Structure 1
Amino acid sequence: MKTLPLSFAIATAMLTSISAISAEQALEAVELDVVTVSADFRDSNVQELAEAVTVIGTDKIDARNAQHLESVLSLAPNGNYSSGASRGRYFQIRGIGERSQFVDPVNPSVGLMIDGIDMTGLGGAATLLDVKQVEILRGPQGTRFGANALAGMINIKSKDATKDTEGYVAAKVGNYNTHSESAAISGSITDNMQGRLAINSFQSEGYMKNEFLGKENTNNIDEVVARGKLAAQLSANTNLGLSYFYADIDNGYDAFSLDNNRTTYSDEPGIDAQETHAFALSLDSKLNSSVILETEITTAKSDVEYSYDVDWAFGKYDENTGNCDTSQGACLEMKPEAWGYSYADQYLRDYQRNSADIRLLSAEDGRIFAGTTDWVVGAYHQMRSESLTRSYTPDPQYSSELKIASTSLYIELSTDITEQARVIYGVRAEQWQNDFSNSLNTGSDETELLFGGQLTLENLVNNDHLAYITLARGYKAGGANSASVVTEKERIFDTEYNNSLELGLKSSLFNDELVTRIAAFHIQRKNQQVKQSFVSYDDGVPDFTDYIANAAEGKNQGLEIESQWQLLEQLRWDLSFGYLKAEFTDYEISAKDDDDASKMIDKKGRAQALAPEYGLATGLSFSATEALTFSLESEAKDEFYFSDSHDEKSKAYVLWHARVAFQQGPFQAALFGRNLTGKEQEVRGFNFGNDPRDGYSNTRWVQLGEPRLVGIEGRYSF
Structure 2
Amino acid sequence: MRFIPSLLTLAVCSSFSIQANEAEASVERISVQGDFRQQSVQQVAGSIAIVGEQDAKRTSAQHLDDLLSQFANINFSAGASRGRYIQVRGIGERSEFVDTINPSVGILIDGIDYSGLGISGISDLAQLEVFRGPEASRFGANALAGMLNLTTKGPTATPEGKLSATLANYDSRQLAAQFSNSIKQQVGYSLALEQQNSDGFIDNAFLNRDDTNNIDEFTGRFKLRYQPMDTLALQLVTHFVDQDNGYDAFSLDRNRTTLSDQPGQDQIRSKAIALQADYSALRFATLQAQLSWLTADSDYGFDEDWSYVGIHPDEYSTTDRYLRTRDQLTLDYRFISTPEGKLGNSDWVLGLYAANKSFDLTRQFWNWDLWQADSFVSSLSRSNAAVYGELTTPFSAGWSLVSGLRLERYDDDYSDSSGNAIKNHDSMWGAKLSLNYQVNPQALVYLLASRGYKAGGVNGDALAKAADGNLSELNSKASFKPETLYNAEFGVKGSALDQSITARVAAFYMWRDDMQVKGWLNPDSGPQFAGFIDNAGSGRNYGIEMENRLQLDPQLALFLSASWLKTKLGNYITLDEENFSGREQAQAPRFSYSVAADWYITEALTFNLSLQGKDAFFYSDGHNARSSRYELLGARLSYQLSNWELAVWTRNALDQDIGVRGFYFGNDPRDGYQSHVYEQFAEPRRFGASASYQF
May I ask how many residue pairs the two structures share in their alignment?
666
Return the alpha-carbon distance in structure 1 between the equivalents of residues 444 and 141 of structure 2. 29
SS in 2 for 1:146: helix
Q: Is the 8 A contact 2:42 2:442 kept in 1?
A: no
**Is residue 633 of structure 1 aligned with residue 599 of structure 2?**
no
SS in 1 for 2:676: strand
Return the alpha-carbon distance in structure 2 between the equivalents of residues 233 and 463 of structure 1. 31
**Is residue 350 of structure 1 aligned with residue 325 of structure 2?**
yes
2:221 maps to a residue whose letter is: R
Of 401, 413, 419, the residue aligned with 2:379 is: 401
**Is residue 378 of structure 1 aligned with residue 351 of structure 2?**
yes
CA deviations on 1:305-346 (whole Å, 9 max, x unpaired) are 11000000001xxxxxxxxxxxxxxx11x2x6xx32100000
Q: Is the 8 A contact 2:223 2:236 kept in 1?
A: yes
CA deviations on 1:165-206 (whole Å, 9 max, x unpaired) are 010111110100001111111111122111000101110000
CA deviations on 1:105-142 (whole Å, 9 max, x unpaired) are 1111001101010010001x132130111110001011
Poorly superposed stretches of 4+, deviation over 4 Å: none
1:310 aligned partner: 304
Of 368, 377, 402, the residue aligned with 2:343 is: 368
Of 214, 230, 235, the residue aligned with 2:229 is: 235
Q: Is the 8 A contact 1:536 1:542 kept in 2?
A: no
**Is residue 93 of structure 1 aligned with residue 88 of structure 2?**
yes
Return the alpha-carbon distance in structure 1 between the equivalents of residues 47 and 474 of structure 2. 41
Of 350, 365, 371, the residue aligned with 1:392 is: 365
Q: Is the 8 A contact 1:341 1:541 kept in 2?
A: no
After superposition, the Cα gap between the structure-2 partners of 1:557 and 1:443, relative to the gap in structure 1 and judged at 3 Å, is farther
SS in 2 for 1:62: helix
Identity of aligned residues (%): 39
After superposition, the Cα gap between the structure-2 partners of 1:554 and 1:307, relative to the gap in structure 1 and judged at 3 Å, is same
Q: Is the 8 A contact 1:340 1:541 kept in 2?
A: no
- How do 1:107-126 and structure 2 match up within 5 A? 107-123=102-118, 125-126=119-120
2:178 aligned partner: 184
Return the alpha-carbon distance in structure 2 between the equivalents of residues 98 and 651 of structure 1. 20
- How do 1:260-271 and structure 2 match up within 5 A? 260-271=254-265
Shift of 1:462: 4.8
SS in 2 for 1:606: coil
CA deviations on 1:260-308 (whole Å, 9 max, x unpaired) are 1111000000001100100111010102343111110000010011100
Return the alpha-carbon distance in structure 2 between the equivalents of residues 441 and 619 of structure 1. 56
**Is residue 663 of structure 1 aligned with residue 640 of structure 2?**
yes
Q: Is the 8 A contact 2:286 2:335 kept in 1?
A: yes
**Is residue 420 of structure 1 aligned with residue 407 of structure 2?**
no
2:455 aligned partner: 477
After superposition, the Cα gap between the structure-2 partners of 1:149 and 1:481, relative to the gap in structure 1 and judged at 3 Å, is same
Return the alpha-carbon distance in structure 2 between the equivalents of residues 419 and 32 of structure 1. 21
2:537 aligned partner: 552
- How do 1:15-414 and structure 2 match up within 5 A? 33-123=28-118, 125-315=119-309, 331-332=310-311, 334=312, 339-369=314-344, 372-394=345-367, 395-414=373-392
1:373 maps to a residue whose letter is: S
Return the alpha-carbon distance in structure 1 between the equivalents of residues 579 and 522 of structure 2. 19
Return the alpha-carbon distance in structure 2 between the equivalents of residues 425 and 697 of structure 1. 55
**Is residue 701 of structure 1 aligned with residue 678 of structure 2?**
yes
CA deviations on 1:547-567 (whole Å, 9 max, x unpaired) are 011111101101001111222
Shift of 1:63: 1.8
Return the alpha-carbon distance in structure 2 between the equivalents of residues 87 and 265 of structure 1. 21
Shift of 1:510: 6.6
CA deviations on 1:613-636 (whole Å, 9 max, x unpaired) are 001011001111121111000000
Of 511, 528, 541, the residue aligned with 2:515 is: 528
Shift of 1:589: 1.8
2:415 aligned partner: 437
The more displaced of 288-297 and 547-556 is 288-297
1:375 maps to a residue whose letter is: W
SS in 2 for 1:543: coil
Q: Which runs of 5+ in 2 are unaligned?
A: 368-372, 467-472
Return the alpha-carbon distance in structure 1 between the equivalents of residues 45 and 151 of structure 2. 21
CA deviations on 1:658-702 (whole Å, 9 max, x unpaired) are 111111111111101100111111111111111111111111111
1:514 aligned partner: 501
Return the alpha-carbon distance in structure 2 between the equivalents of residues 346 and 414 of structure 1. 50
Return the alpha-carbon distance in structure 1 between the equivalents of residues 166 and 441 of structure 2. 45
SS in 2 for 1:70: helix
Q: Is the 8 A contact 1:685 1:700 kept in 2?
A: yes
Return the alpha-carbon distance in structure 1 between the equivalents of residues 668 and 26 of structure 2. 58
TM-score, with structure 1 as normaliser? 0.90
Shift of 1:528: 0.5
CA deviations on 1:372-400 (whole Å, 9 max, x unpaired) are 20000010000000100010033421100
Of 460, 481, 488, the residue aligned with 1:494 is: 481
Return the alpha-carbon distance in structure 2 between the equivalents of residues 34 and 74 of structure 1. 24
Shift of 1:463: 5.5
| RMSD over equivalenced CA pairs, Å | 2.0
**Is residue 678 of structure 1 aligned with residue 655 of structure 2?**
yes
Q: Is the 8 A contact 1:290 1:367 kept in 2?
A: yes
1:596 aligned partner: none
CA deviations on 1:339-369 (whole Å, 9 max, x unpaired) are 3210000000000010111111101221111
CA deviations on 1:620-656 (whole Å, 9 max, x unpaired) are 0111112111100000000000001110000000110
Return the alpha-carbon distance in structure 1 between the equivalents of residues 105 and 419 of structure 2. 30
SS in 2 for 1:143: helix
SS in 2 for 1:396: strand
SS in 2 for 1:44: coil
2:589 aligned partner: 612
Shift of 1:31: 8.0
Return the alpha-carbon distance in structure 2 between the equivalents of residues 433 and 67 of structure 1. 38
Return the alpha-carbon distance in structure 1 between the equivalents of residues 36 and 391 of structure 2. 11
SS in 1 for 2:523: strand
Q: Is the 8 A contact 1:31 1:566 kept in 2?
A: no
CA deviations on 1:516-573 (whole Å, 9 max, x unpaired) are 0000011100011111113233xx7411111011111101101001111222222211
Shift of 1:464: 5.0
CA deviations on 1:423-469 (whole Å, 9 max, x unpaired) are 00011111111111111123421111111111110012356531101
Return the alpha-carbon distance in structure 2 between the equivalents of residues 568 and 542 of structure 1. 60
Q: Which runs of 5+ in 1 are unaligned?
A: 5-11, 316-330, 592-599
Q: Is the 8 A contact 1:480 1:492 kept in 2?
A: yes
